[in-house]
Chain A
Amino acid sequence: MAEPPLRPRRRFRQPSVIPGFGLTLGYTLTCLSLVVLLPLAALVVRASGLGFSGIWEVATDPRVASALRVSFGVSALAALTASVFGFLVAWVLTRYDFPGRRIVDAVVDLPFALPTAVAGIALASLYAPNGLVGAQLAKLGIEAAYTPVGIYIAMVFIGLPFAVRTVQPLIVEIDREIEEASATLGAGRLHTLTRVVLPPLIPAVLTGFALAFARGVGEYGSIIFIAGNLPYVSEIAPLLIVIKLSEFDYGGACAIATIMLGISFVTLLAINLIQAWSRRRFGYV
């Protein structure tokens, strides 16, 4: 009588001779739960206590709605700017050689390294009506500081490295032979760029846009100094959370936080979909 073929048993973990799995995974899960998951769960519990109608009520409050509009609207514009110039910077840094290229490359990471409060007061003093740049803009009739324009400038600052660093590694890996082939077949340089080089980079550009957008929406420190924080004009959603908290309106703060998290979640989901689409279309992320 033939033995039935052995089916591999599905198990939680593949066997390995390396020790320490239980210890390290246990430690990881404990830290993760205590530091990240439990506090986030507290927010979910609070928000579910409010219910959908409670959150909706806060979201449609004119001041909150206006702050959300400013945060998301300005951040989208800023992320667009960061994507365009970020692509240009990434292209210049990878394709051209010029003196000081390494330094320029390091400078791109400045917004990652500079504390947001420091960036905030520096931008505020630069773009204030009597500041170095602000005075020039004032001559052109543009008020930057204490208006949404100031918020836009701070968000471009904070979003730029995301845009550059997402596209840069992909430009490095473009196969130059494809460009040669395109040129050999008679395409002009512009034609080659728009029809051959750019299309595979679109997913990375979109990912960079989404990252810069999400960062801009949540950003606080570099914005509040330059924004002026006028209700209905230049007040951002994160600041409104701080205000609600200082008034001990925990429910209101939670509602705004939930809305922001919800939209960030949708953004992250969009990034994942873009990358999945890119994998199918181009074979890589």
Chain B
Amino acid sequence: MSEIATDLPRHQPASVVTEGGLVRGLLIAVAIVFLALFLVLPLATVFVQAFAKGWDAYLAAFHEADAHAAIRLTLITAAIAVPFNLVFGIMASWAIAKFEFAGKNLLVTLIDLPFSVSPVVSGLIYVLVFGSQGLIGPWLLEHDIQIIFAIPGIVLATIFVTFPFVARQLIPLMQEQGTAEEEAALTLGASGWHAFRTVTLPNIRWGLLYSVLLCNARAMGEFGAVSVVSGHIRGLTNTLPLHVEILYNEYNFVASFAVASLLAGLALVTLGLKSLLEWRYAGDIAASGRRH
């Protein structure tokens, strides 16, 4: 075969299933220019503005009690919200992927619900429950429990907006993997927990890591929902994104962009790791079926 092939003329005939070279180049150029203008330029701006007045001004933004408090609160929030959603995601996907029961589709839809609610509305509903005029607000007031304009409210709102992340990643993945391996483990005498730990968990670990990564990025970066429930008390209920807003509104642009660059760095690390996982473990992250 190969000898025959070499006898053929060297030039490739124009393929009938792609566009001409000129059109192709033009389309690639338009796509890249569009992405550069709309996506890359804003990202670059964050770093340019953060370093506009040099390193010292940049670092000064972090030598400040309010900035420390904001970093601490953001870490606390993520440290509660992410594990919560991790456990919830595993529990939900076990129930939904390993068993057949009535009302399953409805359950999946309800888990996805927070994705289609505006961040501001996500904050609002918690104010309606826990706020001073809320459903159980008066009772909370009587017992001196503060949820809105305090850390619990921020954590709750963050859990709400990141609620579907782990579950919606794991459910299709575990559905595709089926139950045969777990059944084999159980037949061989493993307990349910043992089967989960030694059979299921290794199968879903990359998908789990992937979803935790995205969940964490959103938990640390959430603005709208947290803004509604936080009350913006400096040093107390300000997360990093809220701190960025306050500094910006005070025309303290360098400090604002410096703090923002921390979050942008987090986004870049998240994107890098995400792409790495997609490239290295494509088959282990998501179900291969037709879905996005």
Q: Which residues of A contact B (CB under 8 A)?
A: 12-14, 16-21, 23-25, 27-29, 31-32, 35-40, 42-43, 45-46, 85, 88-89, 91-93, 95-96, 98, 102, 104-126, 132-133, 153, 156-157, 160, 165-166, 168-170, 173, 176, 179-180, 183-184, 189, 214, 217-221, 225, 238-239, 241-242, 245, 248, 250, 253-254, 257, 260-261, 264, 268, 284-285
Q: Which of A157, A173, A183, A241 interacts with B42 by CB under 8 Å? A: A157
Interface centre among B34, B114, B119, B292 (most CB of A within 10 A): B292
B83 to chain A, nearest CB (A): 13
CA distance A111 to B213 in the complex (A): 15
Cross-chain contact A245 with B16 (CB below 8 angstroms): no
B145 at the interface (CB under 8 A from A): no
Q: Which residues of B contact A12 (CB under 8 A)?
A: 101-102
As a 0/1 sequence over residues 93 to 127 of chain B, the CB contacts with chain A under 8 angstroms (1 = contact) are 01110111110000100110110111111001111
Interface centre among A12, A14, A221 (most CB of B within 10 A): A221
Q: Which residues of B contact A245 (CB under 8 A)?
A: 124, 127, 228
CB-CB under 8 A for A241 and B183, given A115-B241, A166-B292, A189-B16: no
CB-CB under 8 A for A220 and B133, given A96-B24, A115-B263, A179-B17: no
Q: Which residues of B contact A153 (CB under 8 A)?
A: 38
From B1-9, B203-211, B218-226, give the one contacting chain A. B218-226
A248 to chain B, nearest CB (A): 7
Number of B residues contacting the other chain (C-beta, 8 Å)? 98
Q: List 8 A-B contacts (CB under 8 A).
A: A85-B31, A115-B240, A121-B260, A126-B45, A133-B41, A189-B16, A245-B127, A254-B128
Q: Which residues of A contact B163 (CB under 8 A)?
A: 35-36
CA distance A204 to B280 in the complex (A): 27
Q: Which residues of A contact B173 (CB under 8 A)?
A: none
Cross-chain contact B290 with A169 (CB below 8 angstroms): yes
CB-CB under 8 A for A89 and B35, given A21-B99, A118-B46, A169-B290: yes
CB-CB under 8 A for A122 and B275, given A43-B121, A92-B31, A116-B224: no
User: Which residues of B in the span 249-263 have a Cβ within 8 Å of any Cβ on A?
Assistant: 253, 256-257, 260, 263
A214 to chain B, nearest CB (A): 6
Cross-chain contact A285 with B43 (CB below 8 angstroms): no
Cross-chain contact A241 with B91 (CB below 8 angstroms): no
Q: Which residues of A contact B10 (CB under 8 A)?
A: none
Cross-chain contact A114 with B101 (CB below 8 angstroms): no
Q: Which residues of B contact A261 (CB under 8 A)?
A: 117, 121
Cross-chain contact B118 with A218 (CB below 8 angstroms): yes
Cross-chain contact B275 with A102 (CB below 8 angstroms): yes
Q: Which residues of A contact B38 (CB under 8 A)?
A: 153, 156-157, 160
CA distance A219 to B165 in the complex (A): 18
Q: Which residues of B contact A168 (CB under 8 A)?
A: 292
- A124 to chain B: closest residue by CB: B248
Cross-chain contact B182 with A18 (CB below 8 angstroms): yes
- B92 to chain A: closest residue by CB: A28
Cross-chain contact B192 with A42 (CB below 8 angstroms): no
Question: Number of A-B pairs whose CB atoms are under 8 Å?
Answer: 298
CA distance A25 to B43 in the complex (A): 42
B82 at the interface (CB under 8 A from A): no
B156 at the interface (CB under 8 A from A): yes
Cross-chain contact B116 with A220 (CB below 8 angstroms): no
- B118 to chain A: closest residue by CB: A218
B159 at the interface (CB under 8 A from A): yes
B28 at the interface (CB under 8 A from A): yes
CB-CB under 8 A for A104 and B88, given A96-B27, A261-B121: no
CB-CB under 8 A for A107 and B39, given A13-B101, A24-B91: yes
Q: Which of B114, B121, B227 interacts with A36 by CB under 8 Å? A: B114
Cross-chain contact A218 with B133 (CB below 8 angstroms): no
Cross-chain contact A24 with B116 (CB below 8 angstroms): no
Cross-chain contact B43 with A114 (CB below 8 angstroms): yes
- A268 to chain B: closest residue by CB: B116
Cross-chain contact A109 with B271 (CB below 8 angstroms): yes
A83 to chain B, nearest CB (A): 13
Cross-chain contact B39 with A238 (CB below 8 angstroms): no
Cross-chain contact B34 with A113 (CB below 8 angstroms): no
Q: Which residues of B contact A92 (CB under 8 A)?
A: 27-28, 31
Q: Which residues of A contact B192 (CB under 8 A)?
A: 18-20
As a 0/1 sequence over residues 155 to 168 of chain B, the CB contacts with chain A under 8 angstroms (1 = contact) are 01001100100000
Cross-chain contact B88 with A31 (CB below 8 angstroms): yes
User: Which residues of B in the span 235-282 have a Cβ within 8 Å of any Cβ on A?
Assistant: 240-242, 244-245, 248, 253, 256-257, 260, 263-264, 267-268, 270-272, 274-275, 279
B179 at the interface (CB under 8 A from A): yes
Cross-chain contact A27 with B91 (CB below 8 angstroms): yes
CB-CB under 8 A for A165 and B101, given A36-B113, A110-B267, A220-B120: no
Q: Which of A121, A218, A221 interacts with B117 by CB under 8 Å? A: A218
CA distance A40 to B110 in the complex (A): 11
Cross-chain contact B135 with A42 (CB below 8 angstroms): yes
Cross-chain contact B156 with A35 (CB below 8 angstroms): yes
As a 0/1 sequence over residues 171 to 206 of chain B, the CB contacts with chain A under 8 angstroms (1 = contact) are 000000001001100110000100010000000000
Cross-chain contact B128 with A42 (CB below 8 angstroms): yes
Q: Which residues of A contact B119 (CB under 8 A)?
A: 116, 218-221, 238
